[in-house]
Amino acid sequence: MTTVPEKVFEPYTKELPQTGPSQNVPLLDLTTQYTTIAKEIREALDRVVESQRFILGPEVEELEKEIAKYCRCGHAIGVSSGSDAILVSLMALGVGAGDEVITTPFTFFATVGSILRVGGRPVFADIEPDTFNIDPRHVERLISRRTRAILPVHLFGQCAEMDPLLDISKRTGIPIIEDAAQAIGAQYKGRAAGSMGSVGCFSFFPSKNLGGFGDGGMVTTNDGELAEKIRILRNQGAEPKYFHKVLGGNFRLDALQAAVLRVKLGHLDTWSEKRRANADYYTSRFAQDGRTGAYVTPPLVKQDRHVFNQYVIQAKHRDELKKYLEGCGIGSEIYYPKCLHQQDCVVERLGVSDRFPVSERASRNVLALPIYPELTDAQKDYVLSRIAEFYERSC
């Protein structure tokens, strides 16, 4: 495994320099994207309005077929959000009170929140320092007789190291739930994100590479029996209507979201390639610019196809850099400023856990830069020049 040596980031003590003339480079620009597909979107929405079928129905069924094909899976089940995709997957696999689920402490809260909601106990494995994804070597050590699932996250659009995890799953019979919320279209050794474990979970939150006009999600699987169980659970556990043998929830995807997503799915690969090209642009420029090389570590592309839901650097004086970029009109974000094992509601339920030094170091250093497909070369150059300017003036 390629590793990135830890940089010693001394405390920032200098006065923040003043910025020059600014442009506006948001972290994400959905308005520009919408203008390119507005006609297609409006036609799709009109189709749903005219049908007056708003919950599940033909639009959702067609989207499910298209996502299953795209993700190379036998089945796809539309649900109400990425969070609910994880939740209903845990329910379908029978994870309940006291059961352990091994996952990462460095990701969005929904991953651990879903485990807690079914009464499970998250068991954390630290991450790889270069990809921020769960370290399979740590997972191996955490397997116990109470382990009921392994929940890796394909963070920021790059698949986790799946072969070792799949080997663990095969040897132990413990299912893998892929949290692919940020990684639709990503690949690992020719295999699509969401197609490798027992189930894959996707989010269609507007900021995702494939984003709707609100919340939405999808579960993918190659297990027909499990797919049917998830379909029943997403609709209050009813099969047939008004007959409830199991306790489910209201996890249904609405048709308006499905219609929007069907339009956007046709553009997804083009958008993903533009994200990849933008990432290559940033990374090559960082490598060429000795002024920032000592202060910025760009993300490592380790797997076949990283789709860059986020472009996340590790930066010296991260908080001050973020503030400086904001003053220059450049959007950035910290994903994630506090690890999951440190969150108040997790500590309240689990107590103070072990420390996870790689995850904690990442939370202190990471910063996401604009990477959306419509980003221009001029905007990327502006971002890069302001970062270089910050370090020239401050360090």
CA 345 to chain centre: 22
β partners of residue 65 = none
* Residue 266 to residue 48: CA distance in whole angstroms: 18
Q: Where are the chain's structural domains?
A: 33-265, 268-394
Cα–Cα distance between 191 and 12 in angstroms, integer? Answer: 44
CATH topology agreement for domains 33-265 and 268-394: no
Report CA-CA distances (Å) from 313 to 85, 213, 298. 29, 28, 5
Q: Could you tell me the two tokens for 117?
A: 């909601």
Q: Are 103 and 153 in contact (CB under 8 A)?
A: yes
pLDDT of residue 352: 73
Pick the CATH number of 268-394 from 3.30.360.10, 3.40.50.150, 3.90.1150.10, 3.40.50.1000: 3.90.1150.10
Q: Strand, helix or coil at 244? A: strand
DSSP structural state of residue 157: G
Question: CA dihedral defined by 277, 281, 283, 284, rounded to 10 degrees?
Answer: 120
Residue type, 206: P
Query: Which residue in the block uniquely carries the two structure tokens 């998250």?
Result: 122
Measured between alpha carbons, how far is residue 124 from residues 94, 164, 261, 324, 375 in Å?
Answer: 20, 17, 33, 34, 36
Q: Which CATH architecture describes the domain 33-265?
A: 3-Layer(aba) Sandwich (3.40)
Q: How far apart are CA 26 and CA 326, in angstroms?
A: 9
Position 14 scores a pLDDT of: 53
pLDDT 10s digit of each residue in the chain, 395 long? 344 444 444 444 455 544 455 689 999 999 999 999 999 999 999 999 999 999 999 999 999 999 999 999 999 999 999 999 999 999 999 999 999 999 999 999 999 999 999 999 999 999 999 999 999 999 999 999 999 999 999 999 999 999 999 999 999 999 999 999 999 999 999 999 999 999 999 999 999 999 999 999 999 999 999 999 999 999 999 999 999 989 999 999 999 999 999 999 999 999 999 999 999 999 999 999 877 888 999 999 999 899 999 999 999 999 999 999 999 999 999 999 999 999 999 999 998 777 899 999 999 999 999 999 999 999 999 999 999 999 998 77
